[in-house]
């Protein structure tokens, strides 16, 4: 399947590393112009330079801004008024005892993981509808369905993101714009490596630490390993293309079989 996104402009929020960076790379390799987003301009510029070198494509550009704040949203959208493809990947996560999570932390997780996506959709969906084409993707998680005991505040936000996706898909009905969620399973990123070592013996070599983590903390996985970010990106590129015209309002699983259900 040859996916050509030439002529399309995309934005991937939170894309200086991890899943977001991999999705940005995948969209860029398929020909899209891709805005790379993060809070720190220097980190964004560095990621843009690295992505151009890795992919051999010049279509990556800096789109900095803290999307959990109104000022950051205004900065970004002022510089990038129209989009064809929006990938809401920005998110925070971390382990915390359920009864010790303070109100401010619940609010912070909701602000970053949910409201930032809502702000972006509210900004860009009207233009997509008017032009009759657009792709919106919200990067959710298996934690939306299988709430992890060690980070229920994170799981709550990802469940909310599934509802946001379904609701905005209805708003876009019949317009040529699709709105979908990606249910990403346990994925290998730098942040997840830190998370793994917070739960297993930090003295273990990485391969052994990953094996112990999957066996003890994610035994539902049928893949029996962490997913690589590029594997999530492949699905995002497909959903961003003309091949995915009949997929909307969906929670598309790229979870390594982690969610034990026949339907999402």
Catalytic residues: 154
Indicate the SS3 state at residue 101: coil
User: Up-side HSE of residue 254: CA atoms within 13 Å toward CB?
Assistant: 22
If we measure between CA atoms, which residue out of 90, 120, 69, 116 comes closest to residue 24?
90
How many residues does the structure list for the chain?
A: 264
Residues near 126 by beta carbon (within 8 Å), at least 6 away in sequence: none
The dihedrals phi and psi of 62, each to the nearest 5 degrees, come to: -80, 135
CA distance 19 to 236: 10
- DSSP-derived 3-state class of residue 35: strand
């Amino acid at each position: 399947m040859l996916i050509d996104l030439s002529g399309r402009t995309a934005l991937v929020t939170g894309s200086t590393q991890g899943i977001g960076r991999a999705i940005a790379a995948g969209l860029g390799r398929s020909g899209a112009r891709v805005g790379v987003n993060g809070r720190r301009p220097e980190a964004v510029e560095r990621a843009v330079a690295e992505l151009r070198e890795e992919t051999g494509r010049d279509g990556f550009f800096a789109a900095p801004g803290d999307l959990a704040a109104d000022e950051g949203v205004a900065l970004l959208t002022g510089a990038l008024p129209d989009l064809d493809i929006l990938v809401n990947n920005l998110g925070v996560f971390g382990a915390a005892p359920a009864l010790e999570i303070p109100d401010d932390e619940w609010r912070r997780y909701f602000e970053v993981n949910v409201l930032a996506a809502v702000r972006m959709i509210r900004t860009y969906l009207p233009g997509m509808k008017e032009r009759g084409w657009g792709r919106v993707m919200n990067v959710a998680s298996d934690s939306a369905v299988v709430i992890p005991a060690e980070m229920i505040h994170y799981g709550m936000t990802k469940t909310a993101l599934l509802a946001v996706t379904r609701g905005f898909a209805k708003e876009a009905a019949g317009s040529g714009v699709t709105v979908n969620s990606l249910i990403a399973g346990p994925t290998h990123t730098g942040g997840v490596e830190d998370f793994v070592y917070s739960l297993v013996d930090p003295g273990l070599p990485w391969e052994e630490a990953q094996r112990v983590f999957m066996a003890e903390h994610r035994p539902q996985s049928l893949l029996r390993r962490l997913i690589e970010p590029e594997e999530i990106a492949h699905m995002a590129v497909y959903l961003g293309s003309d091949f995915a015209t009949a997929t909307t309002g969906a929670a598309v699983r790229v979870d390594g079989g982690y969610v034990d259900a026949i339907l999402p």
